[in-house]
Amino acid sequence: MIQLNSAILITYGLLTLALLSLWLPRTPYFSRYAPWSVFLVIAIIAGLYFNILQSIALLWIVLLGGSAWVLTQKDLGLAIKSALFAIVFLVSGGLLMHYLPGFANPKIISNFYLSEDALPYNKYLNFDSALIAIFILGFGHQRLGSASEWRLTLKRMTLITPLTWFTVMYLSLLLGYVQWQPKWTPMFFLWAWGNLLFTCIVEEAFFRGFIQKYLMQGLSRIRYGDALAIAIAAVLFGLRHYMGGINYILLATVAGIGYGWAYRHTGRIEASILTHFSLNSLHLLLFTYPALAASMR
């Protein structure tokens, strides 16, 4: 069952523009403010108007946005930088796990069965977690801005991304988590909107663009520090999927290693986002989705 209404379309349409405009350059019309910040403010106003956001949400927005911005400033002392890292980590984690009050995230897909032997699929559009991507990427990352940069990044992904696909899906088959099940669903485009913008970009911003990034900086003097940073971020990413059971944690951890490798090898967050989204798309279109019902027994 799919549920959309004008409040959802307006609020999340604006939030979508905020996320996508992260990749827009500043123009004469946006000379003072980044495009994403303008769309975000309007989306917040719409969210408050439609009761998707409550006033307490503004506290988390200001706390996360302010801390993420200050963290990117130069010449910060170690104590201040560590405190800011902790604030961004804790607030982002609370938003990602939906522990912080003030958000009424709508459920747009409810108990949708893509096959008879699959678990039902449900999807929420999470305003809270989208804030993580907007602030971390908006303040802390230089995004790809030219065709040549995109070509170079895609070229560097040619080994890592397919290897991640094969490893994760082969392991999924071995564990009995999915079966080979090619299909097309008219729900694909709605799924892609929610999965790319409100899952992949969000999770990659937090786990690779924040946790792994700062771990690589902190462990730079240690032998194999980058590998350790990738592993720690991947394990945390796996644990984030604890509700899916031990097999799902394992698969997410392995996938996280692939995403982290893509980010480390290219130096671009877009590489991990595209690897993540392409794997999820292959999972949906070629295998049982989200998982075999029998795998949860």
Contact 235, 207 (CB under 8 A): no
Q: In the chain, which stretches have pLDDT less than 50?
A: none
DSSP strands (E only) in 223-284: none
Q: Please report the pLDDT score of residue 255 as a whole number.
A: 99
What is the per-residue pLDDT for 24? 87
Distance of CA 251 to the CA centre of its chain: 17
Burial class of residue 74 (count of CB atoms within 10 Å of its CB; 0-12, 13-18, 19+): exposed
Partners of 53 in the beta sheet? 103
In the prediction, which pLDDT does 142 show?
A: 85
**Per-residue confidence (pLDDT) for residue 113, from 0 to 100:** 95
pLDDT of residue 27: 65
CA-CA distance, 200 to 296, in Å (whole number)?
24
C-alpha dist (Å) from residue 210 to 30, 57, 143, 260, 263: 26, 22, 14, 11, 11
Torsion of CA 109, 115, 120, 125, to 10 degrees: -30
Domain positions in the chain: 6-296
Q: Can you give the pLDDT at residue 151?
A: 96
Output the six-digit token pair for 185.
């669903």
pLDDT of 33 reads: 82
Which pLDDT does position 74 carry in this prediction?
Answer: 84
Distance CA 177, CA 283 (A): 11
Q: Using CA atoms, how far apart are residues 91 and 147, in angstroms rounded to an integer?
A: 35
